[in-house]
Amino acid sequence: MRVLVTGGAGFIGSHVVEALRAGGHDPVVFDVRGEAAGDVRDRGAVSSALAGVDAVCHQAAMVGLGKGVADAAEYVSHNDLGTAVLLAAMAGAGVRRLVLAGSMVVYGEGRYSCARHGRVRPGPRSAADLTAGRFEPRCPSCDADLVPGLVGEDAPADPRNVYATTKLAQEHLAAAWARSTDGTAVSLRYHNVYGPGMPRDTPYAGVASFFRSALARGEAPRVFEDGGQRRDFVHVRDVAAANVTALEAEVEGDTAGGALTAYNVGSGEPQTVGGMARALAAAYGGPDPVVTGEFRLGDVRHITADSSRLRAELGWRPEVGFAKGMREFAVARLRGE
Protein backbone atom coordinates (compact mmCIF):
# COMPACT_ATOMS: atom_id res chain seq x y z
CA MET A 1 0.00 0.00 0.00
CA ARG A 2 1.32 3.44 -0.94
CA VAL A 3 0.69 5.83 1.98
CA LEU A 4 1.20 9.59 2.06
CA VAL A 5 2.46 10.51 5.54
CA THR A 6 2.04 14.21 6.22
CA GLY A 7 4.47 15.35 8.88
CA GLY A 8 6.51 12.27 8.01
CA ALA A 9 9.80 13.90 9.05
CA GLY A 10 8.50 14.78 12.53
CA PHE A 11 8.77 12.92 15.81
CA ILE A 12 5.77 10.60 15.48
CA GLY A 13 5.59 10.75 11.69
CA SER A 14 9.13 9.45 11.22
CA HIS A 15 8.33 6.42 13.38
CA VAL A 16 5.14 5.85 11.37
CA VAL A 17 7.23 5.88 8.18
CA GLU A 18 9.61 3.29 9.67
CA ALA A 19 6.73 1.09 10.78
CA LEU A 20 5.08 1.25 7.36
CA ARG A 21 8.31 0.25 5.63
CA ALA A 22 8.81 -2.60 8.10
CA GLY A 23 5.28 -3.77 7.25
CA GLY A 24 6.01 -3.91 3.53
CA HIS A 25 4.22 -0.67 2.62
CA ASP A 26 5.46 2.26 0.55
CA PRO A 27 5.38 5.48 2.62
CA VAL A 28 5.64 8.86 0.89
CA VAL A 29 6.96 11.56 3.22
CA PHE A 30 5.33 14.99 2.96
CA ASP A 31 6.70 17.51 5.44
CA VAL A 32 7.82 21.13 5.65
CA ARG A 33 11.23 19.74 6.67
CA GLY A 34 13.59 17.47 4.82
CA GLU A 35 13.95 16.50 1.19
CA ALA A 36 10.24 16.01 0.47
CA ALA A 37 9.33 19.55 1.50
CA GLY A 38 5.66 20.41 1.35
CA ASP A 39 3.07 22.34 3.32
CA VAL A 40 -0.40 20.79 3.72
CA ARG A 41 -1.89 24.25 3.18
CA ASP A 42 -0.52 24.23 -0.40
CA ARG A 43 -3.24 22.60 -2.52
CA GLY A 44 -0.98 22.16 -5.54
CA ALA A 45 1.81 20.50 -3.58
CA VAL A 46 -0.65 18.22 -1.79
CA SER A 47 -2.38 17.23 -5.03
CA SER A 48 0.96 16.34 -6.60
CA ALA A 49 1.98 14.27 -3.59
CA LEU A 50 -1.29 12.30 -3.73
CA ALA A 51 -0.54 10.87 -7.16
CA GLY A 52 -0.65 7.07 -6.97
CA VAL A 53 -1.43 7.09 -3.24
CA ASP A 54 -3.81 4.56 -1.68
CA ALA A 55 -4.23 6.15 1.76
CA VAL A 56 -3.17 9.12 3.85
CA CYS A 57 -1.74 9.13 7.38
CA HIS A 58 -2.13 12.74 8.52
CA GLN A 59 0.43 13.55 11.23
CA ALA A 60 1.26 17.15 10.30
CA ALA A 61 0.15 19.64 12.95
CA MET A 62 1.23 22.50 15.14
CA VAL A 63 1.27 21.05 18.65
CA GLY A 64 1.36 22.22 22.26
CA LEU A 65 -0.73 24.54 24.39
CA GLY A 66 0.63 27.69 22.78
CA LYS A 67 0.20 31.14 24.27
CA GLY A 68 -3.50 31.41 25.02
CA VAL A 69 -5.32 32.95 22.07
CA ALA A 70 -2.36 35.03 20.90
CA ASP A 71 -1.33 32.38 18.38
CA ALA A 72 -4.83 31.02 17.67
CA ALA A 73 -4.72 32.04 14.00
CA GLU A 74 -1.47 30.15 13.49
CA TYR A 75 -2.86 26.99 15.11
CA VAL A 76 -6.04 27.18 13.04
CA SER A 77 -4.04 27.78 9.87
CA HIS A 78 -1.70 24.82 10.32
CA ASN A 79 -4.13 22.34 11.83
CA ASP A 80 -7.58 23.14 10.46
CA LEU A 81 -6.92 24.95 7.19
CA GLY A 82 -4.16 22.43 6.46
CA THR A 83 -6.52 19.53 7.11
CA ALA A 84 -9.26 21.10 4.97
CA VAL A 85 -6.86 21.58 2.05
CA LEU A 86 -5.64 18.00 2.38
CA LEU A 87 -9.15 16.55 2.49
CA ALA A 88 -10.28 18.60 -0.52
CA ALA A 89 -7.27 17.36 -2.48
CA MET A 90 -7.98 13.77 -1.41
CA ALA A 91 -11.57 14.09 -2.61
CA GLY A 92 -10.33 15.35 -5.97
CA ALA A 93 -7.74 12.59 -6.27
CA GLY A 94 -10.13 9.81 -5.32
CA VAL A 95 -8.17 8.81 -2.20
CA ARG A 96 -10.73 7.40 0.23
CA ARG A 97 -8.73 6.21 3.25
CA LEU A 98 -7.50 8.45 6.06
CA VAL A 99 -5.87 7.91 9.44
CA LEU A 100 -5.70 11.12 11.45
CA ALA A 101 -3.39 11.93 14.36
CA GLY A 102 -5.98 12.87 16.94
CA SER A 103 -5.38 13.76 20.57
CA MET A 104 -6.70 13.11 24.05
CA VAL A 105 -6.83 16.89 24.56
CA VAL A 106 -10.29 16.91 22.95
CA TYR A 107 -11.69 15.50 26.22
CA GLY A 108 -10.54 18.28 28.52
CA GLU A 109 -10.53 16.89 32.04
CA GLY A 110 -10.68 13.14 32.43
CA ARG A 111 -13.50 11.00 33.78
CA TYR A 112 -14.45 11.44 37.45
CA SER A 113 -16.96 9.95 39.86
CA CYS A 114 -18.42 11.35 43.06
CA ALA A 115 -19.56 9.02 45.85
CA ARG A 116 -22.85 10.93 46.04
CA HIS A 117 -23.50 12.10 42.48
CA GLY A 118 -21.91 9.39 40.36
CA ARG A 119 -20.14 10.39 37.16
CA VAL A 120 -19.50 14.13 37.01
CA ARG A 121 -17.64 16.61 34.80
CA PRO A 122 -15.81 19.27 36.80
CA GLY A 123 -15.22 22.64 35.20
CA PRO A 124 -11.83 24.24 34.57
CA ARG A 125 -9.72 24.77 37.68
CA SER A 126 -9.46 28.36 38.82
CA ALA A 127 -6.25 30.34 39.16
CA ALA A 128 -7.15 31.01 42.80
CA ASP A 129 -7.43 27.30 43.62
CA LEU A 130 -4.21 26.44 41.80
CA THR A 131 -2.31 29.26 43.47
CA ALA A 132 -3.50 27.97 46.83
CA GLY A 133 -2.31 24.45 45.98
CA ARG A 134 -5.82 23.05 45.55
CA PHE A 135 -5.04 20.98 42.49
CA GLU A 136 -7.70 18.27 42.57
CA PRO A 137 -11.03 19.05 40.84
CA ARG A 138 -14.03 18.91 43.15
CA CYS A 139 -17.57 17.71 42.59
CA PRO A 140 -19.47 20.56 40.93
CA SER A 141 -22.60 19.65 42.92
CA CYS A 142 -21.33 19.03 46.47
CA ASP A 143 -17.63 20.02 46.42
CA ALA A 144 -16.62 16.52 47.53
CA ASP A 145 -13.46 14.65 46.56
CA LEU A 146 -13.59 12.91 43.19
CA VAL A 147 -12.14 9.61 42.00
CA PRO A 148 -10.49 9.77 38.54
CA GLY A 149 -11.12 6.99 36.03
CA LEU A 150 -10.35 6.01 32.45
CA VAL A 151 -11.75 8.07 29.59
CA GLY A 152 -13.49 6.22 26.78
CA GLU A 153 -14.17 7.48 23.27
CA ASP A 154 -17.81 8.07 24.20
CA ALA A 155 -16.85 10.86 26.62
CA PRO A 156 -18.16 14.28 25.56
CA ALA A 157 -15.60 16.54 23.92
CA ASP A 158 -14.59 19.51 26.05
CA PRO A 159 -11.50 21.19 24.51
CA ARG A 160 -9.99 23.71 26.92
CA ASN A 161 -7.36 25.52 24.87
CA VAL A 162 -6.78 26.60 21.28
CA TYR A 163 -4.74 23.55 20.33
CA ALA A 164 -7.40 21.19 21.68
CA THR A 165 -10.09 23.05 19.78
CA THR A 166 -8.19 22.69 16.51
CA LYS A 167 -7.72 18.96 17.08
CA LEU A 168 -11.45 18.50 17.56
CA ALA A 169 -12.13 20.57 14.44
CA GLN A 170 -9.82 18.26 12.49
CA GLU A 171 -12.03 15.34 13.46
CA HIS A 172 -15.19 17.17 12.40
CA LEU A 173 -13.61 18.04 9.04
CA ALA A 174 -12.52 14.43 8.53
CA ALA A 175 -16.03 13.19 9.40
CA ALA A 176 -17.57 15.61 6.88
CA TRP A 177 -15.10 14.43 4.22
CA ALA A 178 -15.91 10.77 4.95
CA ARG A 179 -19.65 11.39 4.63
CA SER A 180 -19.36 13.30 1.37
CA THR A 181 -16.94 10.88 -0.30
CA ASP A 182 -17.98 7.58 1.35
CA GLY A 183 -14.41 7.49 2.56
CA THR A 184 -13.15 5.80 5.73
CA ALA A 185 -11.58 7.93 8.45
CA VAL A 186 -9.99 6.90 11.71
CA SER A 187 -8.85 9.34 14.39
CA LEU A 188 -6.23 7.93 16.73
CA ARG A 189 -6.46 9.98 19.89
CA TYR A 190 -2.91 9.86 21.17
CA HIS A 191 -2.22 10.19 24.85
CA ASN A 192 1.21 11.36 26.10
CA VAL A 193 3.59 10.08 23.44
CA TYR A 194 7.29 9.77 24.28
CA GLY A 195 10.35 8.03 22.91
CA PRO A 196 13.51 8.38 20.79
CA GLY A 197 13.60 11.40 18.51
CA MET A 198 11.39 13.58 20.71
CA PRO A 199 12.15 17.27 20.16
CA ARG A 200 14.43 18.81 22.79
CA ASP A 201 13.75 22.10 24.58
CA THR A 202 10.98 23.47 22.39
CA PRO A 203 7.89 25.32 23.61
CA TYR A 204 5.75 22.47 22.30
CA ALA A 205 7.67 19.45 23.60
CA GLY A 206 5.91 17.06 25.93
CA VAL A 207 6.70 16.85 29.62
CA ALA A 208 8.85 13.74 29.14
CA SER A 209 11.09 15.69 26.78
CA PHE A 210 11.44 18.58 29.22
CA PHE A 211 12.44 16.20 32.02
CA ARG A 212 14.91 14.34 29.81
CA SER A 213 16.48 17.60 28.59
CA ALA A 214 16.89 18.83 32.17
CA LEU A 215 18.66 15.62 33.14
CA ALA A 216 21.00 15.96 30.16
CA ARG A 217 21.97 19.41 31.45
CA GLY A 218 22.65 17.98 34.89
CA GLU A 219 19.54 19.66 36.30
CA ALA A 220 16.70 18.22 38.34
CA PRO A 221 13.42 17.80 36.43
CA ARG A 222 10.92 20.42 37.64
CA VAL A 223 7.54 18.83 38.33
CA PHE A 224 4.55 21.19 38.33
CA GLU A 225 1.67 21.12 40.82
CA ASP A 226 2.27 18.37 43.37
CA GLY A 227 3.28 15.74 40.83
CA GLY A 228 0.08 13.76 41.39
CA GLN A 229 -1.53 14.53 38.04
CA ARG A 230 -2.21 11.31 36.12
CA ARG A 231 -1.32 10.68 32.51
CA ASP A 232 -0.94 7.73 30.15
CA PHE A 233 2.57 7.71 28.68
CA VAL A 234 2.56 5.66 25.47
CA HIS A 235 5.70 4.80 23.53
CA VAL A 236 6.08 6.24 20.06
CA ARG A 237 6.71 2.83 18.48
CA ASP A 238 3.37 1.62 19.84
CA VAL A 239 1.70 4.74 18.41
CA ALA A 240 3.32 4.07 15.03
CA ALA A 241 2.11 0.47 15.15
CA ALA A 242 -1.42 1.71 15.87
CA ASN A 243 -1.28 3.81 12.70
CA VAL A 244 -0.23 0.84 10.59
CA THR A 245 -2.92 -1.33 12.19
CA ALA A 246 -5.59 1.27 11.44
CA LEU A 247 -4.45 1.68 7.84
CA GLU A 248 -4.44 -2.06 7.25
CA ALA A 249 -7.85 -2.45 8.87
CA GLU A 250 -9.26 0.12 6.43
CA VAL A 251 -7.88 -1.85 3.51
CA GLU A 252 -9.45 -5.03 4.87
CA GLY A 253 -12.81 -3.31 5.25
CA ASP A 254 -12.97 -3.42 9.05
CA THR A 255 -13.82 0.27 9.36
CA ALA A 256 -17.01 1.93 8.20
CA GLY A 257 -17.18 3.97 5.02
CA GLY A 258 -18.83 7.35 5.25
CA ALA A 259 -17.96 7.86 8.90
CA LEU A 260 -15.16 8.67 11.30
CA THR A 261 -14.21 6.22 14.05
CA ALA A 262 -12.16 7.44 17.03
CA TYR A 263 -9.80 5.25 19.03
CA ASN A 264 -7.82 6.10 22.14
CA VAL A 265 -4.15 5.15 21.91
CA GLY A 266 -2.69 4.68 25.38
CA SER A 267 -0.43 2.25 27.17
CA GLY A 268 -3.04 1.13 29.68
CA GLU A 269 -0.56 1.91 32.49
CA PRO A 270 -1.60 5.25 34.04
CA GLN A 271 1.23 7.02 35.86
CA THR A 272 1.59 10.22 37.80
CA VAL A 273 3.78 12.92 36.31
CA GLY A 274 5.87 12.86 39.47
CA GLY A 275 6.26 9.10 39.21
CA MET A 276 7.35 9.38 35.60
CA ALA A 277 9.94 12.02 36.55
CA ARG A 278 11.32 9.79 39.30
CA ALA A 279 11.48 6.74 37.03
CA LEU A 280 13.24 8.70 34.29
CA ALA A 281 15.70 10.31 36.72
CA ALA A 282 16.52 6.93 38.25
CA ALA A 283 17.11 5.39 34.83
CA TYR A 284 19.31 8.35 33.85
CA GLY A 285 21.25 8.38 37.11
CA GLY A 286 19.81 11.52 38.72
CA PRO A 287 19.44 14.20 39.84
CA ASP A 288 16.13 13.58 41.58
CA PRO A 289 13.13 15.65 40.45
CA VAL A 290 11.93 18.71 42.33
CA VAL A 291 8.21 19.31 42.90
CA THR A 292 7.67 23.06 42.44
CA GLY A 293 3.97 23.73 42.97
CA GLU A 294 3.97 25.78 39.76
CA PHE A 295 1.09 25.37 37.34
CA ARG A 296 -0.10 26.26 33.86
CA LEU A 297 -3.62 27.61 33.70
CA GLY A 298 -5.54 25.44 31.24
CA ASP A 299 -3.75 22.20 32.09
CA VAL A 300 -6.04 19.38 33.16
CA ARG A 301 -5.45 17.41 36.32
CA HIS A 302 -6.04 13.82 35.25
CA ILE A 303 -6.52 12.34 31.78
CA THR A 304 -5.89 8.64 31.18
CA ALA A 305 -7.06 6.42 28.37
CA ASP A 306 -9.36 3.50 27.99
CA SER A 307 -7.86 1.91 24.87
CA SER A 308 -9.99 -1.23 24.97
CA ARG A 309 -11.87 -0.32 21.77
CA LEU A 310 -8.67 -0.24 19.72
CA ARG A 311 -7.58 -3.52 21.24
CA ALA A 312 -10.94 -5.24 20.74
CA GLU A 313 -11.84 -3.96 17.28
CA LEU A 314 -8.44 -3.78 15.55
CA GLY A 315 -6.32 -6.13 17.63
CA TRP A 316 -3.65 -3.55 18.52
CA ARG A 317 -1.58 -4.14 21.65
CA PRO A 318 1.11 -1.89 23.15
CA GLU A 319 4.47 -3.66 23.29
CA VAL A 320 6.67 -1.23 25.24
CA GLY A 321 5.93 -1.22 28.97
CA PHE A 322 6.50 1.86 31.12
CA ALA A 323 9.63 0.65 32.93
CA LYS A 324 11.30 -0.55 29.74
CA GLY A 325 10.30 2.60 27.87
CA MET A 326 11.75 4.88 30.57
CA ARG A 327 15.04 2.97 30.58
CA GLU A 328 15.30 3.35 26.82
CA PHE A 329 14.21 6.99 26.83
CA ALA A 330 16.81 7.86 29.48
CA VAL A 331 19.61 7.18 26.99
CA ALA A 332 17.81 7.88 23.70
CA ARG A 333 18.90 10.70 21.45
CA LEU A 334 16.48 13.63 21.28
CA ARG A 335 15.91 15.73 18.18
CA GLY A 336 18.10 18.82 18.40
CA GLU A 337 20.87 17.19 20.46
Catalytic sites, residue numbers: 163
Cα torsion 168, 174, 176, 179: sign: negative
| Measured distance CA(188)–CA(292) in Å, rounded | 33
**Residue 157 DSSP symbol:** P
Helix (H) or strand (E) holding 187: strand 184-190
Residues 6 or more apart whose CB falls under 8 angstroms from that of 96 comprise 90, 181, 182, 183, 184, 257
Helix (H, G, I), strand (E, B) or coil at 174: helix
Give backbone dihedrals phi and psi of 74, rounded to 5 degrees, phi first.
-70, -40
> What number of other Cβ atoms are within 10 A of residue 227's Cβ?
19
CB 151 within 8 A of CB 115: no
Dihedral, CA atoms, 120, 125, 128, 134, nearest 10 degrees? 70
Residues 6 or more apart whose CB falls under 8 angstroms from that of 335 comprise 11, 197, 198, 199, 200
Give backbone dihedrals phi and psi of 212, rounded to 5 degrees, phi first.
-65, -40
Q: Please, how many CA atoms are within 13 Å of residue 291, restricted to the half-sphere of its CB?
A: 13
CB 12 within 8 A of CB 240: yes
